[in-house]
Amino acid sequence: MTRASFLLALAAVAAGCRAGPMELAQERPIAAVAPDVSVPAPPVRPSSTATTTLPSSYRGAAATPTGVVVPVLGTSADGWQVGTPCGRTASVRNVRALTGTVVLDAGHGGKETGAIGPLGHKESDLNAAVVAHARRALQAAGISAVLTRTGDYRIGIAPRGAIVGAVKPRAVVSIHHNASSSEVRDTPGTEIFHQAVGANAAESRRLAGLLYEEVTATLARYDVTGWAATRLAGVKPRRNAAGHDFYGMLRRTRGTPTALVEVGFLSHEVEERLYARPAVQQAVGEAVARGVVRFVTTTDPGRGFVDPPRLADDNRSGGGTENCQDPPLD
């Protein structure tokens, strides 16, 4: 990409950005069903390479007739055999092939709401809203994106990783909102985790640093007195006791630079009110897109790097598929 086209891409991503006044996270176990207070995400349709006929040898990502993104495993008597959000296999009659430079992952979904703020907003809704805006901004910059989750349904970590493996993107960004802060500070307490091991750990770190730079610069425009944070807010890896990446989304995407973004603390009521605002969701999504554009088109290093803790502070699991119910696929 030439310098001129890069500047045009950044301008396209920035268009529409608005700002106005105003201890370490993990994949959480399934939360209780949230109260009926939600922030509906903008409607999302998977970007696709529409084809009337796919070769029977096709093994990539696809959208089912209901818009659910799945990996194609092979053909079946009824059409196509695909992997489901709950980690099963199913047959669908038709699929639309999907390709993308980036995979955007909205954390949690369905009854696995993630964090729930004091006012009742669900993390899964906020994640989806930010991802929808990030995708639109990337498309405006000429960068295609595939989503792991296109609606409010549950999807396990392994199926998310399978979608990434099917797409084979340049980068993966997983969006979350945090809980359980330990201090208050004058600057946003954004935490971004990158891969600690594997051949792409350095590029994962660079991606995380660029996302941190863009997201925190956007949040800092808002008038918040006291941001929730942890002592080690910033950009870092996190290992488990075996020395591998703690977060399943980082482990299961090894081979592709991946960053897990904790935008801020939904558990902090002042911030919950901020993140519930559609204009803020759009601004954060566009910040994510700017970070991705810079990752793809420049060698910028990013910033915000901090020394990580030696080990994870617990081994609680999350993102599994126990008692998972798949959404309609056909």
At residue 309, the pLDDT reads: 73
Both structure tokens of 261: 């973004």
In the sheet that holds 191-194, the strands lie side by side as: 145-147, 102-106, 171-178, 258-265, 191-194, 234-236
Answer whether residue 215 is part of any domain: yes
Torsion over CA: 104, 110, 115, 116 (sign): positive
Q: Could you give the CA distance from residue 205 to residue 301 in angstroms, rounded to a whole number?
A: 8
Answer whether residue 201 is part of any domain: yes
At residue 30, the pLDDT reads: 27
Answer whether residue 12 is part of any domain: yes
Predicted confidence (pLDDT) per residue in 209-242, tens digit: 999 999 999 999 999 999 999 999 999 999 988 8
What is the number of domains present in the chain? 1
Q: What angle do CA 130, 132, 138 make, to 5 degrees?
A: 100
Which region, left, alpha or beta, applies to residue 257 given φ > 0 means left and ψ of -120 to 50 means alpha?
A: beta
At residue 241, the pLDDT reads: 84
Of 59-68, 132-141, 312-321, the one with minimum mean pLDDT is 312-321
At residue 243, the pLDDT reads: 87
Answer whether residue 306 is part of any domain: no
Answer whether residue 274 is part of any domain: yes
Phi and psi of 4, rounded to 5°?
-65, -45
pLDDT at residue 151 above 60?
yes
At residue 50, the pLDDT reads: 41
In the three-class reduction of DSSP (H, G, I as helix; E, B as strand; rest coil), residue 108 is classed as: coil
Q: How far is CA 51 from the centre of its chain?
A: 27
Query: Could you tell me if 321 and 156 are in contact, meaning their C-beta atoms sit under 8 angstroms apart?
Result: yes
More confident residue, 137 or 10: 137
Question: In CATH, what number is assigned to the domain containing residue 202?
Answer: 3.40.630.40
Answer whether residue 131 is part of any domain: yes
Predicted confidence (pLDDT) per residue in 255-306, tens digit: 999 999 999 999 999 999 999 999 999 999 999 999 999 999 999 999 999 9
Answer whether residue 278 is part of any domain: yes
Q: What is the mean pLDDT of the chain?
A: 87
At residue 312, the pLDDT reads: 61
**pLDDT band at 9; cut points 50, 70, 90:** low
Segments forming the whole domain that contains residue 237: 3-48+99-297
Q: What's the CA dihedral at 127, 136, 227, 225 to 10 degrees? A: -130
* 30 DSSP assignment: P
Predicted confidence (pLDDT) per residue in 86-136, tens digit: 999 999 999 999 999 999 999 999 999 999 999 999 999 999 999 999 999
Answer whether residue 65 is part of any domain: no
Q: Could you give the CA distance from residue 81 to residue 74 in angstroms, rounded to a whole number?
A: 5
Strands 145-147 and 102-106: parallel
**Burial of 212: CB neighbours in 10 Å, binned 0-12, 13-18, 19+:** buried
Of 43-57, 156-170, 250-264, the one with minimum mean pLDDT is 43-57
In the three-class reduction of DSSP (H, G, I as helix; E, B as strand; rest coil), residue 91 is classed as: strand
